[in-house]
Amino acid sequence: MSDAATTVRRLWAQDAVKIAALLLIIYGAYLVSGLVLGYSVRGQLNSLASLTFYIGVFATLALALNLHWGYTGLFNIGVVGFMAVGIYVMAFVSKPLYGSGGAAQVGGLGLPIPVGILAGMIAAAVFGLVVALPALRLRADYLAIVTIAMSEIVRFAFLSSTFQRFQFPHTLAGDTTRVGFGGGSGLILDFPDPLLAFIDAIGLSGAYDGLVGLVGGVVPNNPEPIVHSLVYGVVLLGIVAAYFWLLKRTGESPFGRVLKAIREDEDVARALGKNTDRFKIVSFMLGCALMGLAGILWLMGQGAVTPNFFRPRLTFFVWIALIVGGAGSNTGSVMGGAVFAAVLYQGPLYFQNVVTAVFQPGEAPSSFGPAISPLLSSFDPVPFLLYTLDSVRQLQLVIMGVALVWLMHNRPEGMLGHRKETAAAIPLARSSGATAPSGETDSEPTPRGDGDGTGGGGDE
């Protein structure tokens, strides 16, 4: 037994090492490019903070989508819809009451932020149920159509002037207050800063102030925002670890085994006595709740939220992250999220900045004509290259598309290759422990050890 246990532990250690090594490489590359760019310490810390932020949100989203697609085979291309429901319901619940000061056009219910987060997750899950009930009994492609249509309906609903402001009862006596979703002009998230409230709640505000002081020694001018975004990034990575822990336990269980069977062949699962509808609905709702939470985490510290943030392309970003990492693997999802955030999402702009800083080229042509004509008339490629470099923001989607096509052709199973994440709560190797099952389980620390390992890997 101990043999199997050590093997599992060693294997797991490798996964944690993989994630940690990947993060180290990414951070190293960003630090080096920061040096090339001649960033100040402030600039370096800022760039690391925003990198960490995007790694965190894309890793959580990829993990949630992996539960849907990688495990259960549910083709959800409406990820943004669930994110939007999450943050909007959270704002609805947690924004202060209208008229309690501030510039907001509409208020909320004024409930504490944790209540709002919980409400946002539950709303996303319930919304998932509403979407899933009719669609899950149909073929996979119908679910895809329903989810993407739904995500657009959500966006247009929040854009609509109907829900811009309305009266809503907020006391048992029936007093109403002015609430709403703000319509196209967006919704100001004027609740107290969630991170500071959280730090206060766990009694670490002293440590936080100390950290601000410490960073203040290096960055004399207004260090608080830097510390704030860095700490928020670390909290996000902690949440990635929590997602990982939860989904690993979900996958490595009889429940996860049925999900996998549904993905492979639902008829077989049904013929073996599994009520697959129940499993699909539970899996879908859990994934939707996690997407809702990811939406909340992405936006609650941004000060405001507008419906057009939730365009379908964000959903496809998450899909690319999942495909990069390899659908079906939780470790792959985290790594795919990190690679997508660092290379495809933030990378092109960084590349542009680095090239500009290193070569110090002149002004880029302002439009396509001046960019292409020197190339045609005198074989001078420089204006065209400059123009291309200058348009990197716009080319980002093209780069993503090319990366996606290349991956589907050459490495459809993701960067980790074919993964074997066994769907069972115990190692399935034949063991001498077969004679003493209870002793075996007591001495087998696999699942919990895994969760801790992630935390260690993710928090680097």
Residues in contact with other proteins by CB under 8 A are 246, 249-250, 253-258, 260-261, 263-265, 267-276, 279, 282, 286, 328, 420, 422-426, 428, 430, 433-434, 437-438, 440-441, 444, 447-448
- Residue 337 or residue 433: which is nearer to other proteins going by CB? 433
- Residue 67 or residue 83: which is nearer to other proteins going by CB? 67
The Cα–Cα gap between 193 and 201 comes to: 12
- Residue 48 or residue 269: which is nearer to other proteins going by CB? 269
The Cα–Cα gap between 313 and 281 comes to: 25
Count, in order, helices (H) and strands (E) of the chain.
19, 4
- Residue 409 or residue 420: which is nearer to other proteins going by CB? 420
**Stretch (H or E) spanning 205:** helix 205-218
Q: Determine the straight-line distance between the first and last CA of the chain, rounded to whole angstroms.
A: 32
Residue closest to 335 by CA, chosen among 68, 9, 23:
23
The Cα–Cα gap between 159 and 309 comes to: 11
Cβ at position 167, least distance to other proteins in Å: 38
Burial of 382 (0-12, 13-18, 19+ CB in 10 A): middle
Cβ at position 121, least distance to other proteins in Å: 15
- Residue 27 or residue 284: which is nearer to other proteins going by CB? 284
- Compute how many other C-beta atoms are within 10 angstroms of the C-beta atom of residue 457: 25
The Cα–Cα gap between 321 and 342 comes to: 11
- Residue 208 or residue 255: which is nearer to other proteins going by CB? 255
The Cα–Cα gap between 435 and 59 comes to: 41
Cβ at position 282, least distance to other proteins in Å: 5
- Residue 159 or residue 258: which is nearer to other proteins going by CB? 258
Cβ at position 419, least distance to other proteins in Å: 10
The token pair that represents 176 in the structure block: 């109403």
Cβ at position 423, least distance to other proteins in Å: 6
Cβ at position 145, least distance to other proteins in Å: 25
Q: What is the dihedral of CA 440, 442, 444, 449, to 10 degrees?
A: 170
Cβ at position 133, least distance to other proteins in Å: 16
Kindly state the DSSP code that residue 96 receives in the 8-state scheme: P
